[in-house]
Amino acid sequence: MHHQGFMPPPYSDRERRKWQDPEGILSGIGLKPGLTIADIGCGGGFFALPAARIVGENGKVYALDVNAGLIEGIKRQAAEEGLKNLHLTAGRGEDNVVCEHCADIVFFGMALHDFQDPARVLENAAKAIKPGGRLVNLDWKKEPMELGPPLRIRYDTATATRLIKEAGFTVVTTKDSGPYHYVLIARL
């Protein structure tokens, strides 16, 4: 059983950009200047850093990952770029509510299947979302492919939908995001 942060992905961010466009995905889910997004299970910042650039100085990015080394790496990169809108926490999604009712979007980027207790993580996500905000779950399709985690640990859309509904959300849309992923959008 591996958990977010303990196993580095077998590809670099540069390679990953060939099959996943973080800016395109973030603008596709409605991220705009001035908004607040919480990236739960942010890894090395593949989405958190582009999100910080998109939301700009009037926006905020809360990013959480269990791997303190990855969080330090994001801190360094943010400092190099002069990004002051990132609020970074090293810790478990099960134990942390990054902010109370503050996020326009709570985002899970290929992370939901990695948590020990996804139900708890989603309850914390519900506490972080502001009224009218949305939860976005981008994850691997449960289909055989060369990339990505082992099939047995992936959530298909039905499993992800059930978990998200059990946390008090209503799933609004589920659609493909490129050949390997789906994106599911939910509201409280």
Domain ranges of the chain: 13-187
| CATH class, range 13-187 | alpha beta
pLDDT, one tens digit per residue, over 117-149 is 999 999 999 999 999 999 999 999 999 998 889
**How far lies 11's CA from each of 15, 18, 80, 101, 147, in Å?**
6, 11, 23, 35, 9
pLDDT, one tens digit per residue, over 171-187 is 999 999 989 999 999 99
Task: List the alpha helices (DSSP H) in the chain.
Answer: 13-19, 22-28, 48-55, 68-81, 118-128, 157-166
pLDDT, one tens digit per residue, over 30-56 is 999 999 999 999 999 999 999 999 999
DSSP one-letter code for 146: S
